[in-house]
A = this chain, B = another copy of it.
Amino acid sequence: MKRPTIHDVAAAAGVSRGTVSRLLNGDKYVSPAARVAIERAISETGYVVNRVARSLVTQRTGSVVMVLSEPHEKLFEDPNYSTMIRVAIRMLAERDMSLVMMLAGDEGDRERVVRYVRGGHADGVLLVSTHAGDPLVGLLGSGGPPAVSCGAVIGQEHVIPYAAADERLGARQMTEYFVRQGRRRIAMITGPMDTPGGIQRLEGFAEVLGRKASRRLIAHGDWTQASGERAMAELLERSPDLDAVFVASDLMAAGALAALRAAGRRVPDDVAVGGFDDSAVAVSTHPPLTTIRQPLAEMAQETMRLLFALLDGAGHVDPVVLPTELVVRESG
């Protein structure tokens, strides 16, 4: 029992392939009579268009590839990804397009992605949380299908369009909140300094504090909870008199809380703690984290809009930066 083709539908409806094709593709020149005949034939035969054959002639695949350039396994629990995936699937479905996923962890992966994209197997590329110097950006930049990123792409000559949260603003919001509270010695635990979040959150912090943002009050983590705990211990040793700490991610903040507890500091009485992301862990810690919410859904939507604009022929699109929001809970 073979699948029905457009020929079968045409025969059943008593018209030619061309007319069926026109109806399928929304061409205006189809007579009402033909229309109803074809529609009935389609539902009778259970016809569904063969996208492969269509792709062959249109030279478009109807799919977009999302590249996960995260080397760390665990970080995929990042709500960034899940939101982006959901929104992408949903918005692509509206255009009858689909999302295919690829990994770009090591060199081999990356080569595979480039081959895939260069081979014309995708109409567009979606990058997420790319870190500085990712060779993929350069490789994808020229010639191939349009590429966009959710989250800023930094340190590349060939810049690709992106939608991102205003990382600096978020950092300023948290830091200013601490200042308003009357905190005097405000420390920070940053993310990796080759990521936009790592760099820009520190910049926002420094913008508010100016000279007060001394080196002694800054430690670096790698987004993991363990690194947050380590960095906090380090800060407590270097600057025992600190009374607030802005941690660049909720997960690292969970680690910082553990280090503070181990050191016998009360949160927020002795030390205020601020996170970033407003992820699930922010409410699972004790006390729940005061944090910065990123508009993940809108970021994802805007990213897709940029991609669609490019797919529809826009030669150039401007990056989109969305505001963050302070969420006050009990940790600070």
Query: Interface of A with B (CB < 8 Å)?
Result: 3, 48-53, 55-56, 61, 63, 68, 73-74, 76-77, 79, 81-82, 85-86, 89-90, 93, 98-103, 109, 112, 115-116, 118-121, 225, 251, 254, 257-258, 261, 279-281, 283-286
Contact = CB atoms under 8 A, between A and B. Distances in A.
Interface of A is mostly: helix
Contacts of A261: 286
Contacts of A225: 280, 283-284
Given A52-B56, A286-B258, A86 B103 contact: yes
Count of identical protomers in the assembly: 2
A56 B54 CA distance: 10
Contacts of A49: 119
Contacts of A3: 119-120
B118 A48 contact: yes
A73 B56 CA distance: 36
Contact of A280 (B50, B63, B281): B281
For the complex of A and B, 9 pairs with smallest distance between CB atoms: A76-B82, A254-B284, A48-B119, A286-B286, A281-B284, A52-B55, A100-B100, A99-B101, A98-B100
14 contacts: A48-B115, A51-B119, A52-B121, A73-B86, A77-B79, A77-B279, A77-B280, A81-B82, A90-B103, A98-B121, A254-B284, A258-B286, A281-B284, A284-B284
Given A48-B118, A55-B52, A285 B286 contact: yes
A89 B99 CA distance: 13
A50 B81 contact: no
Contact of A76 (B56, B63, B86, B115): B86
Contacts of A68: 86, 89
A93 B112 contact: yes
A197 B73 CA distance: 24
Max chain B C-beta neighbours (<10 A), residue from A52, A77, A100: A52
A258 B286 CA distance: 8
A3 B100 CA distance: 22
Contacts of A118: 48
Contact of A285 (B93, B100, B115, B285): B285
Nearest to A103: B89
A49 B118 CA distance: 11
Given A89-B101, A98-B121, A100-B101, 15 more contacts: A3-B120, A48-B119, A52-B52, A68-B86, A73-B86, A74-B280, A76-B82, A77-B82, A81-B82, A86-B103, A89-B103, A93-B109, A99-B101, A251-B280, A284-B285
A259 to B, nearest CB: 12
A50 B119 contact: yes
